[in-house]
Amino acid sequence: MLKRIEPENIEKYGKHYDEAGLWKKIGAVAKRAGSKVIYPVLLLYYVLQDKNTPLKHKAVIVGALGYFILPLDLIPDLVPLLGFSDDLAALVACVKAIIDNVTPEIKEKANRKLETWF
């Protein structure tokens, strides 16, 4: 049985996170994954960079971004239509868990970056 996708279940994927790997993954999958997947990735990345983000939230963010980077996950990214659904679920669960840290400035940064790709 699969564990429910909740912040405490995705923290363990933090060992797969590194900034260079994140940007490489975004570059490789952005067009295929679409803006609905990339937007929460960007939100989490910018919240992670914010010095006011609590360490516990950073741990959850690193886990979610690590899961996104991971090439082999619950549903392989190459599966048409469904490939990024598990990634999106983990990303959205994480955004909900740290929503208090998503400031209007962070949303604006994410939107500006998204506009350069889509």
The position carrying tokens 């490789």 is 28
Task: Give the total number of structural domains in the chain.
Answer: 1
Would the pLDDT of 19 be above 90? yes
Span 51-80, average pLDDT = 80
The residue range of the domain holding 39 is 7-117
pTM of the model: 0.84
What is the per-residue pLDDT for 3?
45
Which has the higher per-residue pLDDT, 73 or 83?
A: 83
Would the pLDDT of 89 be above 70? yes
The whole-angstrom separation of Cα 115 and Cα 107 is 12
Whether residue 22 lies inside any domain: the answer is: yes
- C-alpha gyration radius of the chain: 13
Would the pLDDT of 7 be above 80? no
Whether residue 2 lies inside any domain: the answer is: no
The whole-angstrom separation of Cα 95 and Cα 100 is 9
Q: Which of 19-23, 67-71, 81-85 has the lowest mean pLDDT?
A: 81-85
Whether residue 23 lies inside any domain: the answer is: yes
Whether residue 42 lies inside any domain: the answer is: yes
Whether residue 63 lies inside any domain: the answer is: yes
